[in-house]
A = this chain, B = another copy of it.
Amino acid sequence: MAANVQDVVMLVGDSLTQRGWEHGGFAQLLAEAYIRKLDVINRGLGGYQTDWAIPICEQIFAKQHEQHHVPQVKLLTIWYGANDAASAPNPQHVPIDRYKANLSHIINMVKSPTSAYYSPETRIILITPPPVNTKQWVGTPRVFETTRSYAEAVKEVGEKDNVPVADVWTKIFDAAGRSEEACEKYLNDGLHLTSDGYNIVFHAIMDIVARVYPELDPTWEAHGRMQTVFTLWDQVNVQNPRPSLMKRKVQL
């Protein structure tokens, strides 16, 4: 019985997305930034890679004929690769060419006018996997240079499909002075992010929003582009409140 009141930011990905609801995670930071404007829907699935993501996206994206009943996804982040880059024969491994094809497939589910899931109002941001600190990580094998190449692959897909990329691999590696060990400030176990790491992710997303999708900029600096769905309390007409309490368009 939740009416559709706010449109959404949807996050798809693996454990890096799933853990985004932790203190200081990027989902938490986005939810705080978009409060009263857009809801944040976290569809991160720990351990998943892009082969498995496609059947998931077929279920979590609405088909065109369903779209007038459901919230619009105004912003979609796509963040896979940390598991695709696992070394073969681990079942999580996806070869890099198929990884790129899978990312393109997911993008085109949303962007292609012939797709059943076509959603022209959805703005997409691709996110690169962060560096892996193999000195810290004790799970299924990862190779530093392999993850780097998967991050490069995301940038190639972004270029080809004309989707902006939050290159958190480079931003985190640069913040760590380009030292694998120094990445531990940003990676709590060598693979997953600390709140410092998530802070970089959040700001990389918001930078792209401000530059590429300014109509979705929720900050005060962009005041006038987005308003809250329900009016601020000091704008309520105290004598006759009801008309002033009707929901409004968020984007002006």
**Which A residues form the contact surface with B (CB < 8 A)?**
1-5, 8, 10, 18, 21-24, 27-28, 31-32, 35-36, 39, 41-48, 51-52, 55-56, 59-63, 66-67, 69-73, 83, 91-92, 110, 117, 119, 122, 230, 232-234, 236, 238, 241-242, 245-247
Which of B21, B59, B67, B119 is close to A31, meaning CB atoms less than 8 Å apart?
A: B21
Instruction: Tell me whether A234 and B31 are in contact (CB under 8 A).
Output: no
Instruction: Tell me whether A2 and B70 are in contact (CB under 8 A).
Output: yes
Which of B36, B63, B91 is close to A238, meaning CB atoms less than 8 Å apart?
A: B91
Instruction: Tell me whether B1 and A122 are in contact (CB under 8 A).
Output: yes
Cα A52 to Cα B59 with chains together (Å): 37
Instruction: Tell me whether B233 and A52 are in contact (CB under 8 A).
Output: yes
Instruction: Tell me whether A48 and B18 are in contact (CB under 8 A).
Output: no
In the complex with contacts A1-B110, A233-B48, A41-B39 CB distance below 8 A: yes
Cα A142 to Cα B55 with chains together (Å): 54
Instruction: Tell me whether B2 and A8 are in contact (CB under 8 A).
Output: yes
Cα A69 to Cα B117 with chains together (Å): 17
Q: Which residues of B contact A60 (CB under 8 A)?
A: 2-3, 5
Q: Which residues of B contact A39 (CB under 8 A)?
A: 39, 41-42
In the complex with contacts A22-B32, A233-B48, A41-B2 CB distance below 8 A: yes
20 extra A-B contacts, CB within 8 A, seeds A1-B70, A47-B233: A2-B61, A2-B70, A2-B73, A3-B60, A5-B43, A21-B28, A23-B23, A23-B28, A27-B31, A31-B31, A35-B42, A45-B233, A52-B236, A52-B241, A52-B245, A55-B241, A56-B230, A83-B233, A91-B236, A92-B233
